[in-house]
Chains A and B, each alone.
Chain A
């Protein structure tokens, strides 16, 4: 019962916030005025905020910004021992520094390290947290650029990346994070610069109680669908997620931007109903996924869960099963990757669900920005097939889906599955799967999960596999890097191609893309494409385990 209440209140809160928050973000990205701070920043970096960029310039700006970010973060991690607040930790080894730099810049936040025993406070705050903000802004900016492509009337331009980046960071992410940090502190989360305290416990042993800027880190970790925890155990740690209601709030923060972005889409293309259709697709997929995951966990199959009445292994007692399963769904339905329970310990099918959520391309509702553009690509593919079936050259929001658009959308769709499948196969072919804790189907799931998480920029770990070896750090780093930036460039190219088009007026012969039939079809295409792509691999992992 409490479980239902948890999920239903979450849904209601998202429904209530969707409209005002979406409208607010719409104003942020489409407004003309820049405030004093923003103007100062533009002057500092030498950007003309009124200059419109073509897709090529926009893409180069994104890539240049990200490349500099990776380089900076890598060096920062390498030399942290020479800087303040390092808490005495050494510089991060090369392969972990590379993996971490890529991981945080790509909004993945895959952690091949243990936060509390590797990173000092300065790196956490000025390195990792900064990337938590800007990598999220990059995602939203690219989504907004794609929307501008749909909304554009033969302009060929997509706005200005630097303006988008600045505004989203300062006006959307920062204020909410300040507020959320305060709330988290009230709830009892740690927020200090202490190196920790050694205490003697009742049993006489010495225990190290860590400190640090946890609450502030936590707010952006969820809001920006980053997921990189301050502590190794992420949101299962009492300092990162003290109570059931902070758990609720964290899930809310994870979902709030991705679920509100379709409203921005509806506003910008001037057809609110198109935004509702997109959010409906997200909601259908998300609700189905949460229901299935909770169902599999509550009625978990397996000897131990049957004996104790529920699959409690790997879950915090203070959250319980439904709340943990909901968190697991939310974190993988988006590109967050934070965890408050251990997916490796889930029942076979319960553990398959987070994997499937990511395999969907993280579109329900997906990472901040990336979820919307991922789903719009799927909508484009659906429109193409559906459009042919109504006897017209397919068009979406008045833009024709021709050969060039199809090429870009198809390539987008190819990238992540290719990374996941090739990565997984390579791990087995090279024997690097041996670092997995388990053998048999569960061991296969652990490897498959790692690549699924990295390529989709999720960052959650199934756990049960040691990944801080050079091979894994390099392979997953590449998966994250390609999985983030190649699709992103393809999206911008698509946006550019759409922006150059003159919109086609709507008529009775136009495929309606706001009706339930179309919503159902996008859901169907998403699920069928994923099922067809990954079913053979899943059959040897979670399905074999679950059906045994």
Chain B
């Protein structure tokens, strides 16, 4: 976790979720897949496109029986509509397939060195069973997922994480989990296998990115129901039109027959065109592509979601539980200020503090040296060059560290210990030291007292180093964004309540849970859920597992234990706890894309009516030609233009479906207003322009 802890939180501007661009070649490559999907046995799962296919078959038959230029061109475009829809899905799947292929390459058929009765037996990795004990040494591929039960090794996990720096895996603790297909670089470890054959992490990953067992998510199912209902309504509205059309034509029998209407009513080809134009084909065609692409965007960020349901839940999250260390703060306390006592020059304190810290390689010690340099211009001195210096290391007994330079002794450490040292050396720490220490503690910081003793003189406390947890830059802005989105952020920390409050205030989180035990976390999650809230959290340790399982969205770190990975419903391969925020955004973006395209699809119909209704009936009732506001060339060209527009808009929107609607964190009102203007109003206006433009071209086709 600390590997990436130094990475600053992404500032809000660039946090807008982005995705890969669509390569035109991908369309071409996915074409065979799209044609295979024409099989009605698979297509019926998508009721909207299934109706289009049935319509296309119907017009094909009609065109064979009674051939006409209009009939054939419309038939071709109806088939294209279905192909375009399949293409969208195939392209989305294609990107996943490429990733799966890379994973498969990593999952070479390894040989497992099984320990049986203390003897080593070589068996194929595929035959490993749950609970088997195997050995892996430098150069070996780890044969399956498991926990290290003996030894320590560095492991190259780049095959699954893409991160080339090796990681340490050791028995016991939170870094014991290893993944099959990764490579041991040094040393020897003994592993207990925790997977069933064929259910390894990599296997699941491949299945996920390929979308092989993709299940529809709850919102997708609900949306499908709405789309099916709209399809039925439009189907009814068109089919029931026929008796009315026959009646109207009979009333006005003198009106000339046209390509669209005669005494038998509206021609079958025109009726099918009307149905296809009205039913929500745009969203129907792109719905599954949007879902697949959403999962894909997560994978691109190295997050594996075990189900689409979890991704959707992420968009709904009300409460984010974030670990303080590594997520909100940089993970280490850092010196932020030197506070000298009265009568001591700040420079002198800084100098003493620096000297005492030169040999201190802890992050705290390094930060003292850095602060002395930044604030007081003190150049760092190489400990090795100071021949007369003896460094006193920190021990748990003395709770101090320091340096002896000739007759000069400098100590720094916990207030009580250093003050005791001052008294033992004939000094009298002033009351002021105590005040400064209390003041720093009150703000949540850690005070380190610095004292000096020169032989022959009484020891003297020089002042206090203020160590504090440094909040990552940009986190406050990030939490403000979260608040605007209606998400409460809660900081989880093992610190005492006072320290926790100080950091919580500085970081700008809404609440904190201090001195948190795993049970506290679980109880907090339950309490939130009681109130109907959805909770997301990250965790890596085995003791996080119950809370991860309880949370609606539990993101396990890949560095964590297998218990944690099993309990969560997502795994972050980068082990970056800040990722939770991005996951929430991807979840929201997924839903927004569906909603926006549904709105677009429905408002599109207005223009299509203005094209098709006058085209069908103006011959019978010439007054209806007043509805032909686009002044389309002829009934035939009007209907053809509407059908062509309807098909082309699918292709035009594939990139949007794959990329997702642009999402900027903001309140629900602002989001709704923006999307309603763009996709609602846009959806109403664009087809008027598009259909007119297409009409300007197709009117030159002879016979239209």
* In the assembled complex, B252 has its CB within 8 A of some CB on chain A: yes
* In the assembled complex, A505 has its CB within 8 A of some CB on chain B: yes
Instruction: Knowing A386-B595, A387-B595, A540-B617, say if A508 contacts B668 (CB, 8 Å).
Output: yes
Say whether B533 contacts A388, CB under 8 Å: no
Instruction: Knowing A509-B668, A536-B241, say if A414 contacts B609 (CB, 8 Å).
Output: no
Say whether B316 contacts A547, CB under 8 Å: no
* In the assembled complex, B671 has its CB within 8 A of some CB on chain A: yes
The distance from the CB of A5 to the nearest CB of chain B, in whole angstroms, is 35
Instruction: List the count of A-B residue pairs having beta carbons below 8 Å apart.
Output: 219
Q: Which A residue's beta carbon lies closest to that of B241?
A: A536
Query: Could you show 11 A-B contacts with beta carbons less than 8 Å apart?
Result: A388-B219, A388-B594, A389-B675, A391-B587, A393-B315, A402-B219, A425-B243, A428-B243, A440-B252, A507-B488, A532-B237
Chain B 640-693 residues near chain A, CB threshold 8 A: 663, 667-669, 671-673, 675-676, 679-680
Say whether A413 contacts B236, CB under 8 Å: no
Say whether B218 contacts A403, CB under 8 Å: yes
Chain A 399-438 residues near chain B, CB threshold 8 A: 401-403, 405-407, 410-411, 413-414, 417-418, 421-422, 424-426, 428-429, 433
* In the assembled complex, B365 has its CB within 8 A of some CB on chain A: no
Q: Which B residue's beta carbon lies closest to that of A439?
A: B251
* In the assembled complex, B398 has its CB within 8 A of some CB on chain A: no
- 16 A-B pairs besides A406-B223, A509-B486 with CB distance below 8 A are A403-B221, A406-B222, A407-B225, A418-B233, A426-B243, A444-B247, A510-B486, A517-B672, A532-B233, A532-B605, A533-B237, A536-B613, A537-B241, A540-B248, A543-B624, A544-B623
**Among the interface residues A386, A417, A502, A540, which one has the most CB atoms of the partner chain B within 10 A?**
A540
Question: Chain B residues with Cβ under 8 A from A510's Cβ?
Answer: 486, 668
A428 to B247, CA, bound (A): 7
A537 to B622, CA, bound (A): 16
Say whether B598 contacts A398, CB under 8 Å: no
The distance from the CB of A335 to the nearest CB of chain B, in whole angstroms, is 21
Q: Which A residue's beta carbon lies closest to that of B232?
A: A414
Question: Chain A residues with Cβ under 8 A from B588's Cβ?
Answer: 391-392
The distance from the CB of B674 to the nearest CB of chain A, in whole angstroms, is 9
A439-483 CB contact bits vs B (8 Å, 1 = yes)?
Answer: 111011000000000000000000000000000000000000000
Say whether A511 contacts B668, CB under 8 Å: yes
* In the assembled complex, B573 has its CB within 8 A of some CB on chain A: no
Say whether B244 contacts A540, CB under 8 Å: yes
Say whether A392 contacts B315, CB under 8 Å: yes
Question: Chain B residues with Cβ under 8 A from A417's Cβ?
Answer: 233, 236-237
Say whether A536 contacts B532, CB under 8 Å: no
* In the assembled complex, B599 has its CB within 8 A of some CB on chain A: yes
Say whether B609 contacts A422, CB under 8 Å: no
Q: Which B residue's beta carbon lies closest to that of A503?
A: B532
* In the assembled complex, B440 has its CB within 8 A of some CB on chain A: no
Chain A 489-546 residues near chain B, CB threshold 8 A: 502-505, 507-512, 515, 517-518, 521, 524, 528, 531-537, 539-540, 543-544, 546
The distance from the CB of B59 to the nearest CB of chain A, in whole angstroms, is 19
Chain A 79-122 residues near chain B, CB threshold 8 A: none
Question: Chain A residues with Cβ under 8 A from B278's Cβ?
Answer: 532
Say whether A505 contacts B233, CB under 8 Å: no
Say whether B602 contacts A528, CB under 8 Å: yes
Instruction: Knowing A402-B222, A403-B218, A429-B243, say if A389 contacts B596 (CB, 8 Å).
Output: yes
Say whether B669 contacts A515, CB under 8 Å: yes
Say whether A406 contacts B226, CB under 8 Å: yes
Listed from nearest, the 5 A-B pairs whose CB atoms lie closest are A509-B486, A388-B595, A391-B588, A507-B486, A547-B623
Question: Chain B residues with Cβ under 8 A from A426's Cβ?
Answer: 243
A387 to B591, CA, bound (A): 9
Question: Chain B residues with Cβ under 8 A from A392's Cβ?
Answer: 315-316, 588, 591, 668
Say whether B606 contacts A528, CB under 8 Å: yes
A382 to B649, CA, bound (A): 24
Interface residues in A, total, Cβ within 8 A:
68
Say whether A386 contacts B672, CB under 8 Å: yes
A418 to B238, CA, bound (A): 11
Question: Chain A residues with Cβ under 8 A from B589's Cβ?
Answer: 391
* In the assembled complex, A384 has its CB within 8 A of some CB on chain B: yes
A511 to B679, CA, bound (A): 17
The distance from the CB of A385 to the nearest CB of chain B, in whole angstroms, is 6
Say whether A512 contacts B669, CB under 8 Å: yes
A394 to B247, CA, bound (A): 44
* In the assembled complex, A397 has its CB within 8 A of some CB on chain B: no
Chain B 583-630 residues near chain A, CB threshold 8 A: 587-592, 594-596, 598-599, 602-603, 605-606, 609, 613, 617, 620-624, 626-627
Say whether B248 contacts A411, CB under 8 Å: no
Interface of B is mostly: helix
Say whether A509 contacts B243, CB under 8 Å: no
Question: Chain B residues with Cβ under 8 A from A407's Cβ?
Answer: 222, 225
Question: Chain B residues with Cβ under 8 A from A440's Cβ?
Answer: 248, 251-252
Say whether A444 contacts B248, CB under 8 Å: yes
* In the assembled complex, A390 has its CB within 8 A of some CB on chain B: yes
The distance from the CB of B81 to the nearest CB of chain A, in whole angstroms, is 19
The distance from the CB of B73 to the nearest CB of chain A, in whole angstroms, is 23
Question: Chain B residues with Cβ under 8 A from A405's Cβ?
Answer: 222
* In the assembled complex, B234 has its CB within 8 A of some CB on chain A: yes
Chain B 235-267 residues near chain A, CB threshold 8 A: 236-248, 251-252
Q: Which A residue's beta carbon lies closest to that of B248?
A: A540
The distance from the CB of B253 to the nearest CB of chain A, in whole angstroms, is 11
Q: Which B residue's beta carbon lies closest to that of A448?
A: B244
* In the assembled complex, B343 has its CB within 8 A of some CB on chain A: no
Instruction: Knowing A389-B671, A548-B621, say if A533 contacts B233 (CB, 8 Å).
Output: yes
A81 to B672, CA, bound (A): 63
Say whether B591 contacts A388, CB under 8 Å: yes
A187 to B587, CA, bound (A): 65
Say whether A398 contacts B532, CB under 8 Å: yes
Question: Chain A residues with Cβ under 8 A from B312's Cβ?
Answer: 393
Question: Chain A residues with Cβ under 8 A from B333's Cβ?
Answer: none
A392 to B226, CA, bound (A): 17
The distance from the CB of B517 to the nearest CB of chain A, in whole angstroms, is 26
The distance from the CB of B317 to the nearest CB of chain A, in whole angstroms, is 9
The distance from the CB of A451 to the nearest CB of chain B, in whole angstroms, is 10
Q: Which B residue's beta carbon lies closest to that of A388?
A: B595
A518 to B672, CA, bound (A): 9
A116 to B498, CA, bound (A): 86
* In the assembled complex, A381 has its CB within 8 A of some CB on chain B: yes
B672 is contacted by which of A439, A511, A543 (Cβ under 8 Å)? Answer: A511
Say whether A535 contacts B613, CB under 8 Å: yes
Question: Chain A residues with Cβ under 8 A from B621's Cβ?
Answer: 441, 540, 544, 547-548
Instruction: Knowing A389-B672, A425-B242, say if A403 contacts B222 (CB, 8 Å).
Output: yes
* In the assembled complex, B485 has its CB within 8 A of some CB on chain A: yes
Instruction: Knowing A393-B591, A511-B672, A517-B669, say if A388 contacts B244 (CB, 8 Å).
Output: no
Question: Chain A residues with Cβ under 8 A from B679's Cβ?
Answer: 389
Question: Chain A residues with Cβ under 8 A from B598's Cβ?
Answer: 385, 388
Q: Which B residue's beta carbon lies closest to that of A412?
A: B229
Q: Which B residue's beta carbon lies closest to that of A391?
A: B588
A439 to B248, CA, bound (A): 9
B531 is contacted by which of A441, A505, A537 (Cβ under 8 Å)? Answer: A505
**Among the interface residues B222, B318, B680, which one has the most CB atoms of the partner chain A within 10 A?**
B222
The distance from the CB of B623 to the nearest CB of chain A, in whole angstroms, is 3
The distance from the CB of A302 to the nearest CB of chain B, in whole angstroms, is 13
A418 to B243, CA, bound (A): 15
B225 is contacted by which of A403, A509, A517 (Cβ under 8 Å)? Answer: A403
Question: Chain A residues with Cβ under 8 A from B251's Cβ?
Answer: 439-441, 443
The distance from the CB of B419 to the nearest CB of chain A, in whole angstroms, is 49
A441 to B218, CA, bound (A): 45
* In the assembled complex, B484 has its CB within 8 A of some CB on chain A: yes
Question: Chain A residues with Cβ under 8 A from B168's Cβ?
Answer: none
A532 is contacted by which of B228, B487, B609, B663 (Cβ under 8 Å)? Answer: B609
B592 is contacted by which of A391, A532, A534 (Cβ under 8 Å)? Answer: A391
Question: Chain B residues with Cβ under 8 A from A441's Cβ?
Answer: 248, 251, 621
Say whether B225 contacts A406, CB under 8 Å: yes
Say whether A425 contacts B240, CB under 8 Å: yes
A448 to B260, CA, bound (A): 23
